[in-house]
Structure 1
């Protein structure tokens, strides 16, 4: 919650304002105002989560590496059957049927005996998880912990100059070994990690030198303000936002089509593929859509009022706060999709997109710009 409410980003930034430089004196919130601000942004993302869950987990079946690893750990600790970790796919991928393994004499390969009951199979799975799972977990934990401890006492491990000291110093081309990211790569699989490596090469081997040598980012490469790191950030955000927006278009079209079909009372004749769902939970375990809509509207109204009470009319206008919530909801979808595919939630970058929009809507209002970024980051973090 401290991170989502901006206690390590937005609120400290407000205290660093300078009237000479920014035209606004620094803003220091009392503990009551800090609580009010936290309550204002605490519930919007919570009510936004049910429809996002349906899209990214049920329909697109994204990986969510940390969640998958947590489920695996729970199964080991509580001696449960391992969770289903089959490769998930993104919407639009074509399913490839697996061919049955056939031996040279035409007979099928070995399969699970039919005479085993479900209880016996479950018991066998539990024993396998208990034995192999604990052993694998212990070895992996020991290796990762040893590497982290070694890097703490020998910091040079974090910046290994694989391509020479000059490229490491001037262009940040160095290697930081981390078994944590190795584990994430194992869960994410080849397609996602290959795309990430391609992005790394294009961003830091092509776009970074191009922006530096062309004078678009004249500062140090690692500078977020006028360096290549900040310049390529906007390129990456544009790519992620465009990809997320296009992938959500079919969902929006299907939803609009269903609404039109219901209005025309032809819902029974709607194509079966449109109404097909991968939902595994029963209706009594799902959050009703009426609750979601009521919660979203209520959280926006309450949040707008609390933000207006805390910062006043001169800080950010109520209509701008409402716009910030709406923009934050859209960008939250992009952040969650990035989290599901890469285990990285670019909340800081998404907040910058919101700040860019408000720099155009309310130019010169630094406070409104920072608050808008805070609202967006809060929704994406939740």
Structure 2
């Protein structure tokens, strides 16, 4: 083995052991920090566009199946590093010298990609937008009137998301110094991404990055080829490996099986253990215990002749108990985060006053070299508060005028009220996200559904109006917290706030164009059964969000017997579980780690446990890896998971194209009970 390879292995070994002598910024001190214009390169925008499309597809696919969206900040940073390295390597083969690839440029790419994929979530194509459609309205049965449904078209979807997605950026920009420097909020995902990017661009970190990229590419290829292989056996519904009755046909009927999805195994490796186990617990409680019991009440609690999809029947329990869990969890976190926000703000103000001595002068506070350097560059490219205020007012006026043309049910004064309160809620969401890494954008959106829906009423189109108001509110509070999280990443990598803001704007614009196109052509048109229970893309949140809107406008009188009682029990249960966890945290008991998440428990109530099994397999792989080598697992599990998710999701693109051009798989692999199989054999032989 060469001396160079031996040296690399020694350096990698040191990095894995966490050996370090200099601080981060001392290591980078001799490297020139490029100006904000040099951080925004042509290649970074091209790579952001490619990755933005891929991540929009991934987020859309996850939204339309389980709704579980892990943080992709780390994956975006890793893939951005990989693509630029490929770019520069190819050019060098042709003798073309490229500009040095800096951590600031890497941060710009990550920001742009996360902003783009964030729009795929906040634009609501798998939730409130889908809830407006006639298909979902028929499933809900109630409120299926012309004023309460809206046909989807690419034109108005792009127009709507362009109108409402940029205001959140302008609402939070003036507060970046307060959030990052004064209150020193951590923003865990943003901080973790910054450390990853910093490590890539140190001499030692580049060696580890090379290994991570090899690992990512290997699993990316395997995942893509596995998706391609599975496709051949899916000629019709309930065919292929996704319908493999892993635990027997009875368990399969109750939606307990492993469906061989590389995407969900990868997501399970990224999500915390408690989230995956909470979903498994929710699947057992609902599909293993509750729904079989409720089925025995058919004809007693609800009509025996009702369709399973009716809100007046079995589906009412599935949807509204899930809604109760989600709302209980969301309300609890909303109140707690709000209280913590006010408490932290008051504490920060008092602390600021208390550092003054008797003579009214400030005590000298020791500041590290890293903090001094980061603060210097963070304050270097200021954006005037007047610019942000003017931008918010202008965009709000345009939106107030234009949105009612898309949704006549919404009047200008409804939208004006949203835009008055949205910056306050955006600040609360950003502050809460900085404390806990928990964005409550969907909770604020549900609040808007209730307020606007009840204000307008069912007969005047309150369902569609409430869902549209949800979209406006979610877009503002979600993009606000995303931007502040990226400002934290930029602060730790010395990326200019100005370049960060511009990359966020560019990424948001990309998302506004890419997300509707990906949804409309690759899912809505390619899969006619989208949104239906049991299909490849059940999109459960479409029905759930419409159910919330119906409650807001109509009340609960249409629900089946005891549905409201059970929903109330689970609503209170969600609050009690969260309160118990908070008590254990405050008492410093480690047992708080084992308290389940009600929000996660609610997800399989409607869908079943098949995807949860996949995610638990991902957790098991991660657990075994960590037991074997914890440091190595921390380095390579995100790369493995990213490769599995990206490869499987990338195969979804050609699969959707084949479906659009009516090319079907040649084979169908099905699993039948022995008795049914004997009858099929007898029929075929006869």
Shorter-chain TM-score range: 0.5 to 0.7
Q: Which blocks of at least 5 consecutive residues in structure 2 are unaligned?
A: 1-115, 235-239, 480-686
1:196 aligns with 2:270: no
The equivalent of 1:118 in structure 2 is: none
Q: Which blocks of at least 5 consecutive residues in structure 1 are unaligned?
A: 84-121
The one-character-per-residue Cα deviations of 1:80-125 (angstroms, maximum 9, x if unpaired) are: 8427xxxxxxxxxxxxxxxxxxxxxxxxxxxxxxxxxxxxxx4344
Alpha-carbon separation, structure 1, partners of 2:310 and 2:228: 26
Check conservation: 1:82, 1:125, Cα contact below 8 A: yes
The equivalent of 1:123 in structure 2 is: 203
Check conservation: 1:220, 1:227, Cα contact below 8 A: no
- 1:204-353 paired onto structure 2 within 5 Å: 204-207=283-286, 209-210=289-290, 213-214=293-294, 220=308, 226-229=316-319, 231-256=321-346, 268=356, 280=374, 282-285=378-381, 287=383, 291-308=387-404, 310-312=406-408, 315-325=409-419, 330=425, 333=429, 337=433, 351-353=445-447
Displacement, 1:200?
Answer: 0.8
Pick from 148, 153, 164 the counterpart of residue 41 of structure 1. Answer: 164
Displacement, 1:13?
Answer: 6.4
Check conservation: 1:221, 1:229, Cα contact below 8 A: no
The equivalent of 2:200 in structure 1 is: 82
Pick from 225, 231, 251 the counterpart of residue 167 of structure 1. Answer: 251
Change (3 A) 1:302 1:212: farther
Displacement, 1:41?
Answer: 0.9
Change (3 A) 1:159 1:237: farther
Alpha-carbon separation, structure 1, partners of 2:162 and 2:265: 38
Check conservation: 1:6, 1:378, Cα contact below 8 A: no
Displacement, 1:173?
Answer: 2.2
Alpha-carbon separation, structure 2, partners of 1:71 and 1:62: 11
State the aligned residue count: 318
Displacement, 1:322?
Answer: 3.0
The equivalent of 2:145 in structure 1 is: 22
The one-character-per-residue Cα deviations of 1:13-39 (angstroms, maximum 9, x if unpaired) are: 667489x94263876799987776444
Displacement, 1:129?
Answer: 3.0
Pick from 175, 181, 188 the counterpart of residue 62 of structure 1. Answer: 188
Check conservation: 1:167, 1:173, Cα contact below 8 A: yes
- Higher mean Cα deviation, 283-292 or 360-369? 283-292
Displacement, 1:363?
Answer: 1.8
Change (3 A) 1:266 1:52: closer
Check conservation: 2:334, 2:440, Cα contact below 8 A: no
Displacement, 1:248?
Answer: 4.4
Check conservation: 1:6, 1:374, Cα contact below 8 A: yes
Displacement, 1:246?
Answer: 1.4
Pick from 135, 152, 158 the counterpart of residue 242 of structure 2. Answer: 158
Check conservation: 2:453, 2:466, Cα contact below 8 A: yes
SS in 2 for 1:360: helix
TM-score of the superposed pair, with normalisation by structure 1: 0.60
Displacement, 1:235?
Answer: 0.8
Displacement, 1:60?
Answer: 3.8
Change (3 A) 1:352 1:164: farther
Alpha-carbon separation, structure 2, partners of 1:176 and 1:46: 40
Check conservation: 1:327, 1:376, Cα contact below 8 A: no
The equivalent of 2:448 in structure 1 is: 354
Displacement, 1:318?
Answer: 2.7
Q: Report the RMSD for the aligned CA atoms in angstroms.
A: 5.2
Change (3 A) 1:9 1:249: closer
Change (3 A) 1:250 1:37: same
The equivalent of 2:578 in structure 1 is: none
Check conservation: 1:14, 1:27, Cα contact below 8 A: yes
Pick from 138, 160, 163 the counterpart of residue 217 of structure 2. Answer: 138
Alpha-carbon separation, structure 2, partners of 1:347 and 1:140: 32
Displacement, 1:145?
Answer: 2.1
The equivalent of 2:563 in structure 1 is: none
Alpha-carbon separation, structure 1, partners of 2:411 and 2:251: 47
The one-character-per-residue Cα deviations of 1:304-324 (angstroms, maximum 9, x if unpaired) are: 232245545xx2233322344
Structure holding more helix per residue? 2
Displacement, 1:146?
Answer: 2.9
The equivalent of 2:468 in structure 1 is: 371
The one-character-per-residue Cα deviations of 1:205-251 (angstroms, maximum 9, x if unpaired) are: 22454367357899749989625155314413431442254134323
Alpha-carbon separation, structure 1, partners of 2:244 and 2:145: 40
SS in 1 for 2:187: coil
